[in-house]
A and B are shown apart, each in its own frame.
Chain A
């Protein structure tokens, strides 16, 4: 068990560019979450996958954001036409089936995005 991994760890991009982040969950976990954390705040929920199905999206996830989880394994989060307000830490978490109410979400180290 290598834990949840995220790549890249840091990304600096210019405003208007597109960026894509990858999350590899713990292998036997079928549930995957994306959160966004800005400086001095707690993580905010963005979206949730159960296997390959995207079951919930926050209103924070504007049309410029899209997330996929093909084949129910790794997930990608793409931001198109980045804005300075997108600068944040993007966190991925996974959990096994039935673990959610127990809060057993395992977090990756995050991808820090800086939009200049």
Chain B
């Protein structure tokens, strides 16, 4: 089946530290991969995406590269800010006709301290 596994949180960092949140997936075929973010009190927002192997998604200083050989899509940011504190969800859409649903990981809470 299709599934997403991401590192457990919370991840606690000081401002300007380097961030990595690991995400691996299991899927048949070639899924599209995503990172969504949920800021406190707000709805889920798409952060970045990659739709084929070796693609790099990037947004707001965050990056993730679609690695088919390791079935991974790790999220990175070189210098985090307090405003990045949120819950981050890795997700996929399977490559199969008629499938439109997002399959999410459990989420990783990030707390950034000044």
Chain A residues with a Cβ under 8 A of chain B: 3-4, 31, 33, 35, 40-45, 48, 55-56, 58, 91, 93, 95, 100-110
Q: List 18 A-B contacts (CB under 8 A).
A: A3-B43, A33-B102, A40-B107, A42-B89, A42-B104, A42-B106, A42-B107, A43-B44, A43-B89, A56-B99, A95-B100, A101-B32, A101-B51, A101-B95, A102-B49, A103-B102, A107-B43, A109-B43
In the docked arrangement, what's the CA distance between A41 and B93, Å?
18
The residue of chain B having its C-beta at the shortest distance from the C-beta of A58 within the complex is B101
Question: Is B46 in contact with A104, judged by CB distance below 8 angstroms?
Answer: yes
Chain B residues with a Cβ under 8 A of chain A: 4, 32, 34, 36, 42-46, 49, 51, 89, 91, 93, 95, 98-107
The residue of chain B having its C-beta at the shortest distance from the C-beta of A47 within the complex is B101
Distance in Å: Cβ of B80 to nearest Cβ of chain A: 21
B4: A residues at CB distance < 8 A:
42
Question: Is B42 in contact with A103, judged by CB distance below 8 angstroms?
Answer: no
Contact of B93 among A35, A56, A101 (CB under 8 A): A101
Known: A101-B51, A103-B34. A91 touches B43 (CB 8 A): yes
Known: A42-B107, A102-B49, A103-B34. A110 touches B101 (CB 8 A): no
In the docked arrangement, what's the CA distance between A40 and B107, Å?
7
The residue of chain B having its C-beta at the shortest distance from the C-beta of A95 within the complex is B100
Question: Is A103 in contact with B43, judged by CB distance below 8 angstroms?
Answer: no
